[in-house]
Chain A
Amino acid sequence: MSADPQMLAFEADCQLFTGCGFNAPGLHTFMYEPLFTVGGFEFDKPMLLAFVSSLVVVGFFWAAFSKPKVVPGKLQMVGEAGYDFVRRGVVYEIIGKKDGEKYVPLMVSLFFFIWIMNLWSIIPVAQFPVTSLIAYPAGLALLGYFLWVGLTFKKHGFVGGWKNITGYNKELGPILPLVVVLEFFSNLVIRPFTHAVRLFANMFAGHLLIVMFTVASWYLLNGIGVLYAGTSFLLVMVMIVFELFIQAVQAYVFVLLASSYIQGALSEHH
């Protein structure tokens, strides 16, 4: 009982053939003891990682864009590529150049912040995707949600805003009430939830799988179990590569959805 389950997620002396059952990683894998406590506020590792994410994103863009040149250096070129990817690839595509320009900084910030928070999953020592805690994606999804609702009413007025949200359309006839109710729940209640959960669940599941195979690799590493341990470790490697891909994709999807919600608020027709 020497190892802290909160820090290691498993016990180092518990292995196959030692009479010890496999201690599968579960929800407790996502719980952290506070690193320190300030006036009752518990500051834990994911919070630290969130701030380090800010530092990384700001630091990178500071290095790339603080003294930009017309003929760019290498770092600026990389920064521009990332910036252009979100600006052209997402915002201009979804919202359009004229309306979208205003939301480019928000989307660029969202994309890189989320991506780096996801990326911690496979960075040694960090090894934890901050977005696998629902609060982090939820906060960002709420930002997008409030922006969407605010824009809808600002653009269409009170009645028009409600019509936009509920998909009100007289031509629907008798099924209009059903559509209105469904759209109301779908847009106003379920949408922010799915927006946050999509990111959260992907990162949660990915992290759980990596931890599972990592723990299993150690657990099986005893006697004949070495063969199984090798397979398990191979899967860890595969999962890490796969996660690298998923982390970027989920950050992209999150920003894509946020942009499409804003586009929905700005468009004339629902």
Chain B
Amino acid sequence: MIAQFTLAAGEEQPPLIPHPDELIIGLIAFAIVFFFLAKKLLPNINKVLEERREAIEGGIEKADAAKTEAESVLEQYKAQLAEARHEAARLRQEATEQGTAIIQEMKAEGQRQREEIIAAGHAQIEADRKAASAALRQDLGKLATDLAGKLVGESLEDHARQSRTIDRFLDELEEKAEATGVAR
């Protein structure tokens, strides 16, 4: 037992001194790992990770682009809406103005027509008056002539007759004047 232990112990080497064979094997084993990982497998995965990153960023970029577009369209619509509102307000204003102008025009036209009618009335009245005056004058002349004829015709027969004639004439005249006054 003891002998066997010392036998084993006798083969031991100091634990902190590396055995050259083990050192070499360890480095070879590591070199195998490093070779495959560094030359093939890690570049492989790096490429894919990069692709993935780009895919994700591409997706984000697409979403950003869509958002920007949507925003610009919204802006456009808003601008168009504002323009339309503005246009409508302008049209309303214009219509109001036009209506006012039309009313003014029609008022002026009415006024003008009224004045025309009044003026025509006045002219008619004047013409009637002138015609009446002319007719009266003619009648008066005729009456005067008649009277003068009568006076001359009766030839001064007598004063009585003469005065009766004059009275009769004056009565006629009075009647005529009354008749004209009533007619008026």
Contacts and interface: CB of A to CB of B under 8 A. Distances in A.
Given A83-B45, A109-B37, A204-B15, A14 B22 contact: no
Q: What is the interface residue range for chain B against chain A?
A: 35 or more
B157 interface: no
Nearest to B5: A23
Interface in A158-178: none
A243 to B, nearest CB: 19
State the majority secondary structure of interface residues on B: helix
B36 A62 contact: yes
A152 to B, nearest CB: 22
A26 B9 contact: yes
Nearest to A30: B15
B27 interface: yes
A104 B150 CA distance: 160
A21 to B, nearest CB: 7
Contacts of A14: 1
Contact of A62 (B22, B34, B38, B41): B41
Contacts of A143: 27, 30
Interface string B83-104: 0000000000000000000000
Contacts of A136: 22-23, 26
Contacts of A139: 18, 23-24, 26-27, 30
B180 interface: no
B38 A65 contact: no
Contacts of B37: 57-58, 61, 105, 108-109
The 10 A-B residue pairs whose C-beta atoms are closest, nearest first, are A135-B22, A28-B8, A105-B38, A135-B18, A68-B48, A136-B26, A50-B29, A54-B32, A139-B26, A65-B41
Given A6-B8, A61-B37, A109-B30, 10 more contacts: A27-B9, A28-B5, A50-B26, A51-B29, A65-B41, A68-B45, A68-B48, A72-B48, A104-B42, A113-B29
